[in-house]
A and B are shown apart, each in its own frame.
Chain A
Amino acid sequence: MKMEININPRLRFHLSPLVWILLTLMGIAIVVAMIRYIYGIGAISNLSYSYPWGFWISFDLFTGVAIGSGAFVMAAIVYIFELKEFQPLLRPSVLTGFLGYIMVVIALLVDLGHPERIWYMMIHMNGTSVLLEIGICVMSYLTVLAIEFAPVIFEGLKWQKFAHTLHKYIMPFVILGVVLSTLHQSSLGSLLLIQPAKLYPLWWTPILPVLFFISAVSIGLAMIIFESSVSARYFHRGLEIHLLEKLARAIPIALAIYLIVRFTQLTLAGDLQYLFNSGMMSILFWSEIIIGSIIPLVLFSFKRIRQSSNGLLTGAIILLFGMILDRFDVSWFAVRHPDPLTYIPNLMAFNAHYIPSLPELSISIGIFSAGILAFGLAAKYLPLFEGEEGHPSSAGH
């Protein structure tokens, strides 16, 4: 049988200045990464004994995984709850998730001391390690996302048979994907459970995994709105505003649950005393609560805002900003590291300082640019924004 390979550009996509900027940023990141592999992590980053984890972990791992949550939220809505009307939003969010997780892995290949041993996680398992769980979940979920996204590629290649077959058996993978997502989205919070002496009490709580999962759902919903709105603007295509409006209705509910759980926990743990008198920590706490939860909760409660494309995008950006601040707080800003090597009298009460270096930032920026570029290419060459030509129930015909 002759396979016909025929890919046509589907949407307008200019080789615009933006593309050149993205390519340049990627190039810089590749050069910096080379320096890191030749001279060690110390040559490009400000990571230290006191700050073993810095910007890469906060941005690429914590933020990257969080904004990839749209994929499992959408998969659950479309496949598990069979709300088929949301089908048009599924593919872009699965792609965002897939690219997001690939970016996480690439960043880890720079951040790990021995990236060539990353697969050791599969043969030397330490069952008590939260990081192991995250590693295994991310590896498996990446596979699941690839399977979930494969039909789009097959359709793009006009291999309809493969696409149909895969569609028929997609359900087990969807369920596996949602389970894996639940596990590692929450485990990202569990990662900090081992630092009760280091993470500030406004953030450290045994229910960190629960909080992380609830906020991941709200981030996922916001991310779907964000990426649909932005790509609609950039590719000059229609925006599924009636669908986004329905999705946005769920955001206030998720955020309300988040706020209730968070403040109930603080009250029960007796940590309310830290709310206002912890200086910078109080400011960070209230910033993330107000920006990430309260403002979006109010905004998305208004139907008028949910029905306007600008209102949706604004609300989503505010929510994402606040929630990403939360991830940075938990993994970086609110962590107090002791630095035994610099025990200087009277200075010990203070944090050792860490400000990410420029090359360190350029790695993350380069990886992010590659992600945007990959999304653009997929939008150009694959049936990303089109209805599925055969979803599970109609795959047989």
Chain B
Amino acid sequence: MTDIQNIKHKAFLFDATRCIDCRACMISCSVENNIPMDKTRIWVAGVGLMGEYPNLGHASMVYHCMHCEEPDCLSACPVGAYSKREDGPVLYNKDVCIGCRYCMNACPFGVPHFDYDKNIIQGAFIDKCTMCPQRIDNGLEPACVATCPTEALKFGERADLLTEAHARIAAHPDRYVNHVYGETENGGTSYLILSLSHVSFAELGLPVLGSTPVRDVSEAVMDLTIPFALTWGAVLTGITVGVHQFNKRKEQLAEAEAKAKTEETK
């Protein structure tokens, strides 16, 4: 497992207190990545209006790939279509994808989306946020971050963003939930989230996860596969030979006995 405290690469920071639900990030993402109108890689989850007039509240959250440190999609994909780049992004390679959709099952955040409307020739593939590698390689911020008018989305080194997130909570403890989502969740993610003090992360649509990645158990079992297969094969061979020898011996004894009997009668 990677050391959660010492992850050195790019990450996002989202601050729910600054999001005004304008959805400009969704537009810029689709434009930048050439996504059709009816599809999206990024979406704004809202908890709608809360409270009673005149004390009304509203909260929303920008949701896209969490770019986990230990991606479950990467672990689950049978053909290795996923990869984790050293500087952060979790990337998907459609050239090897067989369209099994196991990654959609594996991702605890429900991020990878499959294109059900395409046939084989058009290419029915998974789509997900890429952290705009074409932009960050050129020193730019991802499209969603560059567009955000209120700096609800921020992009930078993960360690710096974590420090900043904790500083914001410390400066206004009344405003925030005292936790940075993604700091340890699922083994740490590259999308850090701050929520309003009266809105839980679950209400923003985030699953409750421990600091061990969900893929750990299945990988531990997978590690046992080959040793188990070899042992089991050896045991079965042993049983087969043993049973066969036992039966043969029994047959021989019976034969000898019968022989002895016939000789006796002679």
A residues in contact (CB < 8 Å) with B: 37-43, 45, 47-50, 52-53, 76, 79-82, 111-118, 120-121, 124-133, 135, 171, 175-176, 178-179, 182-183, 187, 190-191, 193-198, 206, 209, 337-341, 343-346, 348
A130–B205 CB distance below 8 A: no
State A171–B75 Cα separation when bound (angstroms): 35
B243–A47 CB distance below 8 A: no
B218–A179 CB distance below 8 A: no
B243–A80 CB distance below 8 A: yes
B110–A195 CB distance below 8 A: no
A249 to nearest B CB, angstroms? 19
A112–B98 CB distance below 8 A: yes
Whether B79 sits at the interface, judged by CB under 8 Å, is: yes
Q: Mark B22-66, 1 if CB is under 8 A from A, else 0.
A: 000000000000000000000101111100000000000001000
Q: How many residues of B contact A (CB 8 A)?
A: 67
State A26–B185 Cα separation when bound (angstroms): 48
B97–A194 CB distance below 8 A: no
State A125–B72 Cα separation when bound (angstroms): 16
Q: Which residues of A contact B78 (CB under 8 A)?
A: 121, 125-126, 129, 131-132, 135
Q: Which residues of A contact B214 (CB under 8 A)?
A: 194-197
Q: List 16 A-B contacts (CB under 8 A).
A: A80-B243, A114-B97, A117-B97, A120-B98, A125-B78, A128-B76, A129-B78, A129-B222, A131-B102, A133-B225, A178-B236, A190-B218, A196-B214, A338-B205, A345-B48, A348-B205
Given contact pairs A121-B98, A176-B233, A196-B217, a sample of 6 additional A-B residue pairs in the complex whose CB atoms are under 8 Å apart: A49-B114, A113-B99, A113-B120, A113-B124, A194-B214, A195-B105
Q: Which residues of A contact B77 (CB under 8 A)?
A: 126, 129, 131
The answer to whether A337 and B110 touch (CB under 8 A), given A194-B72, A194-B76, is yes
Q: Which residues of A contact B81 (CB under 8 A)?
A: 124
A40–B43 CB distance below 8 A: no
Q: Which residues of B contact A124 (CB under 8 A)?
A: 79-81, 96
Residue with the highest number of chain B CB atoms closer than 10 Å, among A45, A179, A346: A179
Q: Which residues of B contact A117 (CB under 8 A)?
A: 79, 96-99
Q: List the B residue with the shortest CB-CB distance to A47.
A: B116
The answer to whether A340 and B205 touch (CB under 8 A), given A40-B118, A196-B214, A345-B46, is yes
Q: Mark B93-133, 1 if CB is under 8 A from A, else 0.
A: 00011111110111011110111111110111100000000
Residue with the highest number of chain A CB atoms closer than 10 Å, among B78, B217, B222, B228: B78
A118–B98 CB distance below 8 A: yes
Partner of A52, one of B101, B120, B220, B240: B101
Whether B256 sits at the interface, judged by CB under 8 Å, is: no
State A212–B225 Cα separation when bound (angstroms): 15
Whether B221 sits at the interface, judged by CB under 8 Å, is: yes
A125–B110 CB distance below 8 A: no
State A182–B236 Cα separation when bound (angstroms): 12
B113–A49 CB distance below 8 A: yes
State A206–B244 Cα separation when bound (angstroms): 36
The answer to whether A81 and B98 touch (CB under 8 A), given A126-B78, A126-B79, is no
Q: Which residues of A contact B104 (CB under 8 A)?
A: 49, 52
B117–A183 CB distance below 8 A: no
A340–B109 CB distance below 8 A: yes
A366 to nearest B CB, angstroms? 20
Q: Considering the complex of A and B, which 9 residue pairs feature the smallest CB-CB distances, nearest first?
A: A113-B99, A42-B116, A345-B48, A52-B101, A126-B80, A132-B78, A52-B104, A193-B218, A343-B45
Whether B215 sits at the interface, judged by CB under 8 Å, is: yes
B residues in contact (CB < 8 Å) with A: 43, 45-49, 63, 72, 74-81, 96-102, 104-106, 108-111, 113-120, 122-125, 203, 205, 207-209, 214-215, 217-222, 225, 228-229, 232-233, 236-237, 239-240, 243-244, 247
A182–B76 CB distance below 8 A: no
Q: Which residues of B contact A133 (CB under 8 A)?
A: 222, 225
Partner of B79, one of A38, A49, A120: A120
A190–B222 CB distance below 8 A: yes
Q: Which residues of B contact A171 (CB under 8 A)?
A: 240
Q: List the A residue with the shortest CB-CB distance to B103.
A: A52
State A121–B239 Cα separation when bound (angstroms): 33
Q: List the B residue with the shortest CB-CB distance to A344.
A: B48
State A41–B217 Cα separation when bound (angstroms): 31
Q: Which residues of A contact B118 (CB under 8 A)?
A: 40
Partner of A80, one of B47, B74, B240: B240
Q: Which residues of B contact A128 (CB under 8 A)?
A: 74-76, 215, 218-219, 222
State A238–B209 Cα separation when bound (angstroms): 58
B73 to nearest A CB, angstroms? 10
Partner of A338, one of B116, B207, B225, B236: B207
The answer to whether A183 and B75 touch (CB under 8 A), given A194-B106, A197-B207, is no
Q: Which residues of A contact B122 (CB under 8 A)?
A: 40
A115–B236 CB distance below 8 A: no
B120–A114 CB distance below 8 A: yes
Q: List the A residue with the shortest CB-CB distance to B82.
A: A126
State A50–B115 Cα separation when bound (angstroms): 13
A129–B110 CB distance below 8 A: no
Q: Which residues of A contact B74 (CB under 8 A)?
A: 128
A81 to nearest B CB, angstroms? 6
State A39–B117 Cα separation when bound (angstroms): 7
